[in-house]
Amino acid sequence: EAGVVQSPRYKIIEKKQPVAFWCNPISGHNTLYWYRQNLGQGPELLIRYENEEAVDDSQLPKDRFSAERLKGVDSTLKIQPAELGDSAVYLCASSLILGASTDTQYFGPGTRLTVL
Amino acid sequence: GEDVEQSLFLSVREGDSSVINCTYTDSSSTYLYWYKQEPGAGLQLLTYIFSNMDMKQDQRLTVLLNKKDKHLSLRIADTQTGDSAIYFCAENGGTYKYIFGTGTRLKVLA
């Protein structure tokens, strides 16, 4: 069974440019998460979806970040415009059960973003 | 607020045991997790323990939980060079919102 798929794996852009990341969760997983991992740190949650609904986006910087999961499967995270401080690894994770706090999250390989 | 702390580095010789430690603050955590991250890769779930357990063993991995002291440890027996990676502990604080530690970089010397 395929794991969580993310693309691109690496992205280098200049500041003020837009960028988008794509995630395909494990088949059948209803809950999807986007995390940001700064260098030398653990991941921090940005947004959580249950099906197509964003049920927690409290940590998402809404002035420049947006996300969507239109059909409740794939998801896209966008930054516009990017800033130097956005350089990080953006991780997508998914879990099977809706609303189950103890359900295990499975992570993709991440997209490493470098903003110059 | 919630906080999870880990030591940054650990170096062991191949064949020895490794013990990676973690302390957390949120007593409402129901599950605690250990993830492994190899260079350029995502986080791989290694094991987890329910908060009403003291110990869990899974092949070369042993997790010990001291709920009173809010201390979690991961022991890797017979450590191999392939175990070199960053290890993260995480708590779920009784919700879906995982709080990760800063990670412990394990280096295994041949």
Q: Mean pLDDT for each 10-residue chunk of chain A (116 residues)?
A: 90 97 94 93 92 90 94 94 96 79 81 96
Q: Flag whether residue A109 sits within 8 Å of chain B, measured between CB atoms.
A: yes
The candidate with the shortest Cα–Cα distance to A13, out of A80, A77, A109, A64, is A80
Q: Flag whether residue B105 sits within 8 Å of chain A, measured between CB atoms.
A: no
B47 contacts in A (CB within 8 Å)?
none
Residue that has been written with the tokens 């979690």 in this structure: B72
pLDDT of residue A38: 93
Rounded to a whole number of angstroms, the distance from the CA of B51 to the nearest CA of chain A is: 11
Q: Are strands A10-13 and A111-115 parallel, antiparallel or unpaired?
A: parallel
| CA B76 to mean position of chain CA atoms | 10
Helix (H, G, I), strand (E, B) or coil at B87: strand
Task: Specify the DSSP class assigned to residue B89.
Answer: E
Per-block mean pLDDT, blocks of 10 residues, chain B (110 long)? 85 97 84 90 89 92 94 96 95 77 95
Whole-angstrom distance between the N-terminal and C-terminal Cα of chain B? 41
In chain B, the residue whose alpha carbon lies closest to the alpha carbon of A99 is B96
pLDDT of residue B17: 97
pLDDT of residue B54: 92
pLDDT of residue A70: 84
Residue type at A89 in one-letter notation: V
